[in-house]
Structure 1
């Protein structure tokens, strides 16, 4: 995993979204215009948490998050999402 020069604050985490599916289970190739936005990714950086609420996710966790969660950012040519830990729905 590459080191990212972004340090999230408080209860925020930085996530590298998974790639969108290229094919369906039946083998049909999905065009770019019909691909769904991925809803899972890998945590690459975490904040320090809030005073009363420590973070439960850690770097390297594979997580599921809401479809419209987070803010998209680009760092060194790679796309990431930065979001609050509360926008993460599960660790898988």
Structure 2
């Protein structure tokens, strides 16, 4: 996977958005009008973090393979190979979705 080799700079996070389902649980195809854009994604790669005024490295809030909530707008779209990704700043990510 070429995207895992990309290491974002500073406090940036490379995320792949989760695609909405195209079929219902029963196998019925859903029309595009009922499919909504999900604001969820999976973290593919994270940068080292940013530095504060004293030069200390501030830790990142997410790690690789975290499932995260994303803002509806923002981020920089990136295409690597034939896959689409989005680069966000660590502070723009709304939260981490915990598995129960």
Counterpart Cα distance in 1 of 2:9 and 2:31: 37
Deviations 1:24-74 (A, max 9, x none): 68x874323553222111100001111132212111111001111312111
Corresponding residue number in structure 1 for 2:32: 32
**Structure 1 residues 69 and 24 mapped into 2: Cα distance closer, same or farther (>3 Å)?**
farther
**Structure 1 residues 78 and 67 mapped into 2: Cα distance closer, same or farther (>3 Å)?**
same
Counterpart Cα distance in 1 of 2:79 and 2:34: 23
Query: Structure 2 length normalisation: TM-score?
Result: 0.76
Q: Mark the structure with the bigger radius of gyration.
A: 2
Counterpart Cα distance in 1 of 2:6 and 2:31: 32
Corresponding residue number in structure 2 for 1:82: 87
Cα RMSD of the aligned pairs, angstroms, is 2.2
| Deviating more after overlay: 11-20 vs 64-73 | 64-73
Query: Structure 1 length normalisation: TM-score?
Result: 0.81
**Length, aligned pairs only:** 91
Structure 2 unaligned regions, length at least 5: 53-57
Contact 2:2 2:80 in 1 (8 A): no
Corresponding residue number in structure 1 for 2:10: 10
Helix, strand or coil at the partner of 2:94: strand
Contact 2:75 2:86 in 1 (8 A): yes
Higher strand share goes to which structure? Answer: 1
Structure 1 unaligned regions, length at least 5: none
